[in-house]
Amino acid sequence: MVIDLEHHLEPRVVWEKRGGKPGQIVMQRAPDGTPLRPLDDSTHDTGIHLKYMDIAGIDMAVLSGTEVGSLEEAKVFNDHFASVVQQNPKRFAAMATTMPLGGKPALDELERAVTELGLRGVLINAVVEDQPVDSRKLWPFYKKVSDLKVPVFIHPSIKLTGFDACQAPYDLFRTIGREFDLALATIRLCVGGVMEDFPDLKVIVAHFGGGFSSIKERMDRYIRVLGAKFWSGKPLISEPYLERYDQHFDRLYFNMAGREVGMQTVKCALTNISPKRLLFGTDYPPNFTNDGIGMRTYIEKIRQLDLDKKAIEGMLSTNAVELLGLSI
């Protein structure tokens, strides 16, 4: 069995509002011209998703949206996802959409999405309304997610702010910028108090945490050498700092999307992430656009890894089943 843990969909009404046009590929851009996301019929049409899932051999996709501009739009996403899942319960599950800093109304909507609509987690960006993931303004949100016993899925920010170094006559914002966004979120979760203060919180970071495995040893070194001085002021995690940081890191889940057939990244991730914490993902339709064979190839390459069968099946499906409480 194969479960895709990063598979995006938008309600058609939202897709059209963002500039989608039937039969065309349209690049949605920020006001400054920065490319944000391609919009075509696969952005909203579940029939197209099912077609390529069947070619790829993907049994179930866990749908997620993108950042929204209002609570009303979040409700449109949640109701639509619930409807899609109800129509195709063996092929789709879904993550809720909400406004993490929207106060009680937004937290109530998240509770409705989980308890009434049956959605399996909640998506947020790596930066929420200019706040990093370890902003204390997000503590009420994390408390609600913990109470609901569902995971929070950290997705790269669609529109990056504060990344002026990505200004170039080529596409650095979407390529390296979003991965840096996720790598920053990963370390902030571990050392900024989030995992410390919410011991029951379950977190999935997209795209291998931006490839965080390749720099984890550098972070280890500075925490080991600096100790309490790593923080300006009171440390935000308890002693022993390196051991505690590693414990927090080992609680995180990472999906395997964002690289298409990215086997070098998979092998790098496995140097310090347990296979029990990796979750197959495609980032369809922005990645593998209309390419079911490419997705199938990625799955086949994962099955060829020098790991035991249980570990491989965990990455492809059973880790997600256990984390999301799926009935398969």
Token pair of 237 as six digits: 């995690």
C-alpha–C-alpha distance, residues 16 and 39, integer Å: 9
CATH of the domain at 250: 3.20.20.140
Residue with token string 């002693």: 239
Question: Which amino acid is located at 3 in the chain?
Answer: I
Confidence of residue 174 (pLDDT cuts 50, 70, 90): confident
Q: Are 44 and 21 spatial neighbours (Cβ–Cβ below 8 Å)? A: no
C-alpha–C-alpha distance, residues 169 and 192, integer Å: 34
Comparison of pLDDT for 328 and 184, the residue scoring more: 184
Query: Tell me, what's the pLDDT at 158?
Result: 83
Summarised one tens digit per residue, pLDDT across range 108-149 is 999 999 999 999 999 999 999 999 999 999 999 999 999 999
Q: Which domain holds residue 119?
A: 3-324
Summarised one tens digit per residue, pLDDT across range 59-82 is 999 999 988 889 999 999 999 999
Query: Tell me, what's the pLDDT at 34?
Result: 78
Q: How many CB atoms lie within 10 A of CB 45?
A: 16
Number of domains observed in the structure of the chain: 1
Q: Is 198 left (phi over 0), alpha (psi -120 to 50) or beta?
A: beta
* Average pLDDT over all residues of the chain: 95
Query: Tell me, what's the pLDDT at 37?
Result: 82
Q: Are 7 and 63 spatial neighbours (Cβ–Cβ below 8 Å)? A: yes
Query: Tell me, what's the pLDDT at 251?
Result: 98
C-alpha–C-alpha distance, residues 154 and 107, integer Å: 17
Confidence of residue 327 (pLDDT cuts 50, 70, 90): confident
User: How far does Cα 311 stand from its chain's mean position?
Assistant: 21
For residue 178, pLDDT over 80 is answered with yes
Q: How many CB atoms lie within 10 A of CB 139?
A: 14
